[in-house]
Amino acid sequence: MLISETTRSTCIPCKRGGYKVKYFGTDGIRGIFGDTLTDELAFKVGKALGEIVGEGKVLIGKDTRVSGDSLEAALSAGLTSMGVDVLSCGILSTPAVALLTRITRSYGVVISASHNPPEYNGIKILKSGYKIPNELEEKIERKIEGEFQKRYVVGKIRPFREGKDMYIGAVLEMFKDLDLSGKSVSLDLANGATTTTVKDVFEFLGADLEIFNSSQDGLLINQGCGATHPKFLAEEMKKGRIGFTFDGDGDRVMVIDEERNVVNGDKIIGILAEGMMREGRLENAVVVGTVMTNGGLEEYLKKKGAKLLRTKVGDKYVLEEMLSSKANLGGERSGHIIILDRSTTGDGLITALELMRTIEKLGKTLLELAKEIPDLPQVTKNVRRTEKTSLEHEGLRRLIEKYNAEGYRIIVRPSGTEPVIRITVEGRDRDRVEEIAEVLSRTLEG
């Protein structure tokens, strides 16, 4: 692993201590259904988790993907075979399931591949509101590869559709001081998990809504829409409105301002930090980001008297640092934002409502607030990972040191969700940033 003394450049390997993970990435297990993610694997994950849970209960929620029913059936079979009861929540977002596991003090599983295309799916495991730690993921992997205990008690499966209403009720209670009457809001639901909750909440709060991509056809999820395609909403929504575009499982949100400009997660965090500081609510004047967080946000926070702490990419690592540093605001440029005094995980709906509340309290437009936060040019290139791809490439290392000396921040890391190496370059000269990213990607490709 290469980390310069100034921590301006980072090269991150794909290992966890001495254990090399086989199934779990930065956000659970993820892959193409029927290929790297199969019903057989889901069944084994269910049995392994069931062995850990004992004779308790596990909640299962899923996004709209067509493979969700098959994977849920396999997971449920594995869990019930080990004596665990399954509560099936139906189509429900990751943060909703997380909140329900906190309320019920139980384990939960979300079947989703978040922002990935429809052919992908994934398995995320939660406990009492939090994604399980690496150690528990490794324990599950070892059980999958080993022998399972014999159990003589069989669990039951029952619907838990009231979970949706419990989640909506909890969110409305959080924002009982928020009135959106007369506010014009556009929503892109990405044809995903938020189709069951977000519209209901905004309607209850009185917003004048414009809705896009609210289908539950599992072949449409994230297809040219949602948080990974924010320009769709920016082009389709009317001017003068505020737009929120969610990802497939609802833990991310990107925002569109009144002039239809995309407001990324770094700017959202900056605006929320300003509002929370005004309220005296930003714990320890600390915000947690990742190595990918834009340097412009770091500059903005410093001017406001707050400090940015960086961690590895992945919301679980952001959360770990937040808990360690006693921070209550953190997140990623992708729009995955954790407001810890509201929720234990990233929640696109809660982030959207918190932003609407902040805009009202600060007395400015979203456009005005977003412009106050600088955004340094940042370019990311993906290099397909092969057996020959090495992050210890000597030529790559020398180039990173050279560009680091020129004042450019460089991050080279394996994706936790796709078989690629991501090269990110950040600096003040966009043309030079793009040139450096191209040189580094060609070098890594060999």
Helices (H), 182-279: 198-204, 230-236, 265-278
Q: How far is CA 207 from the centre of its chain?
A: 26
% of the chain with per-residue pLDDT over 70: 94
Looking at the fold, whether 354 and 234 belong to one and the same domain comes out as: yes
Looking at the fold, whether 311 and 418 belong to one and the same domain comes out as: no
Structure tokens at 296: 């412009």
The total number of residues shown for the chain amounts to 446
The model's pTM is 0.90
DSSP E strand boundaries for 63-165:
85-91, 107-111, 120-127, 130-131, 157-159
Q: Which of residues 355, 371, 387 is at a domain's end?
A: 371
- Match 């406001």 to its residue by tokens: 304
pLDDT digits 0-9 by tens, 130-153: 999 889 999 999 999 988 888 889
Helices (H), 205-247: 230-236
Looking at the fold, whether 337 and 417 belong to one and the same domain comes out as: no
Is there a catalytic annotation at residue 76? no
pLDDT digits 0-9 by tens, 255-297: 999 999 999 999 999 999 999 999 999 999 999 999 999 999 9
CB 83 within 8 A of CB 154: yes
CA dihedral 344, 345, 349, 354 (to 10 degrees): 60
Q: How far apart are CA 166 and CA 116, in angstroms?
A: 28
Structure tokens at 222: 């994230």
Looking at the fold, whether 405 and 429 belong to one and the same domain comes out as: yes
Looking at the fold, whether 277 and 177 belong to one and the same domain comes out as: yes
Looking at the fold, whether 240 and 359 belong to one and the same domain comes out as: yes
Looking at the fold, whether 135 and 249 belong to one and the same domain comes out as: no
CA neighbor of 415 nearest in space, from 385, 378, 393, 379 = 385
Q: How far apart are CA 136 and CA 357, in angstroms?
A: 37
Q: Which of residues 160, 182, 210 is at a domain's end?
A: 160
pLDDT of residue 395: 84
- In eight-state DSSP terms, residue 285 is G
Looking at the fold, whether 386 and 357 belong to one and the same domain comes out as: no
Looking at the fold, whether 174 and 274 belong to one and the same domain comes out as: yes
Q: Which domain holds residue 416?
A: 3-8+377-445
- In eight-state DSSP terms, residue 133 is P
Angle between helices 162-174 and 348-362 (to 10 degrees): 20
What DSSP letter does each residue of 42-76 carry, written as one string? HHHHHHHHHHHH-SSEEEEEE-S-TTHHHHHHHHH
CA dihedral 242, 330, 419, 32 (to 10 degrees): -60
pLDDT of residue 52: 95
Model confidence at 13: pLDDT above 90: no
What average pLDDT does the segment 73-95 reach?
97
Looking at the fold, whether 223 and 176 belong to one and the same domain comes out as: yes
Active-site option among 114, 186, 343, 441: 114
First to last CA, the chain: 19
Angle between helices 162-174 and 94-104 (to 10 degrees): 90
pLDDT of residue 18: 57
pLDDT digits 0-9 by tens, 336-358: 999 999 999 999 999 999 999 99
CATH code for the domain in which residue 398 is found: 3.30.310.50
pLDDT of residue 389: 64
Domain assignment present for residue 50? The answer is yes
Structure tokens at 117: 């295309």
Looking at the fold, whether 266 and 239 belong to one and the same domain comes out as: yes
Kindly list the distances between the CA atom of residue 358 and the CA atoms of 178, 275, 352, 354, in Å, as whole numbers in the listed order: 10, 6, 10, 6
Q: Residue 392 phi/psi, 5° resolution?
A: -95, 15
Q: How far apart are CA 108 and CA 117, in angstroms?
A: 23
Please state the domain count of the chain: 3
Q: Is the four-CA dihedral 179, 183, 184, 188 of positive or negative sign?
A: negative
